[in-house]
Chains A and B, each alone.
Chain A
């Protein structure tokens, strides 16, 4: 294990492992946010309500927020 670390010049720590896992989680959440945006549009098509546009705006806002947060998490 030590040799591999010397070879790749990367120090594997608990922090780095958890960091990678969190980054994967954020990407997964971004995909789920995308699914949610699509689903809310479909739900609004099935049942058209006066506040449906506001609900769609909420899911789009969440998706936008997730893009920003995922970018921050991947860059940190």
Chain B
């Protein structure tokens, strides 16, 4: 038989939710994808609602600011070469260095916080997208599983291919737009680790909602 007909057998099938829960995979709290995380909840969670996926942007999306911070770390070691800074007194030089490292530490902690808390949550009832923009603005979008119409994902670029992350786009039946009017009713989870797995789990939940007759088409 031609190889073409054997190709289907060779493809590795993605594990389902039950299998992942059984194996206890994706449990690292600092990871980009957690399946059935323990002791995790969110603000408007119902009593019988169970968190199935908690994810955030892939860790490699932090490489940009991390590289910048590493380079900034060495700047005070070289700024004595500039004549204007050389002319400053030792005290002023010292407090300038302190201020530089304080600002750098602020930059690192702020970026970490924004990465850590910008999460998306999939429960057995709905999807929640939590976005913190800067330190003063938050945007939380929620949709019910039974209102999801279509789920797909895309992987674009070299980094996405190497580290296996991509955007998961979820089309909903809602007609509501975001408060700034820029986004439509679709959910867009960016830089999701293992996007194929996330899409599979959401599809499983949609099928389950279909079986239970909860879907509103």
Check A47/B29 contact, CB under 8 A, given A22-B95, A36-B113, A39-B135.
Answer: no
Q: Are B29 and A51 in contact (CB under 8 A)?
A: yes
Q: Which of B39, B92, B110 contacts A19 (CB 8 A)?
A: B92
Q: With an 8 A cutoff between CB atoms, is A18 at the interface?
A: yes
Q: Are A62 and B113 in contact (CB under 8 A)?
A: no
Q: Which of B29, B42, B102, B110 contacts A50 (CB 8 A)?
A: B29
Q: Are B130 and A29 in contact (CB under 8 A)?
A: no
Q: With an 8 A cutoff between CB atoms, is A46 at the interface?
A: yes
Q: Which of A18, A25, A39, A48 contacts B113 (CB 8 A)?
A: A39
| B interface, CB within 8 angstroms of A | 29-30, 37-43, 54, 84, 87-89, 91-92, 94-96, 98-99, 102-103, 105-106, 109-110, 113, 116-117, 119, 121, 130, 132, 135-136, 138, 140
Q: With an 8 A cutoff between CB atoms, is A76 at the interface?
A: yes
Taking chain A's interface residues, is the majority helix, strand, or loop, or is none over half, making it mixed? Answer: helix
Question: 5 pairs across A/B with beta carbons < 8 Å?
Answer: A29-B102, A36-B110, A51-B30, A55-B116, A73-B99
| A interface, CB within 8 angstroms of B | 14-16, 18-19, 22-23, 25-26, 29, 32-33, 35-36, 39-40, 42-51, 55, 58-59, 62, 65-66, 69, 72-73, 76
Q: Are B96 and A47 in contact (CB under 8 A)?
A: no
A37-B140 Cα distance, complex, nearest whole Å = 20
Check A62/B105 contact, CB under 8 A, given A47-B130, A48-B41.
Answer: yes
Q: Which of A40, A42, A59, A69 contacts B98 (CB 8 A)?
A: A69
Report B157 CB to chain A, min CB distance, Å. Answer: 28
Q: Are B92 and A15 in contact (CB under 8 A)?
A: yes
B117: chain A residues within 8 A (beta carbon): 43-44, 46-47
A50: chain B residues within 8 A (beta carbon): 29, 38-40
The chain B residue sitting closest to A55, CB to CB, is B116
A28-B91 Cα distance, complex, nearest whole Å = 20
A66: chain B residues within 8 A (beta carbon): 102
Q: Are B29 and A55 in contact (CB under 8 A)?
A: no
Excluding A40-B113, A62-B109, A76-B95, 10 further A-B contacts by CB distance (< 8 Å) are: A15-B92, A25-B99, A29-B103, A35-B135, A47-B119, A50-B39, A59-B113, A65-B102, A69-B98, A72-B98
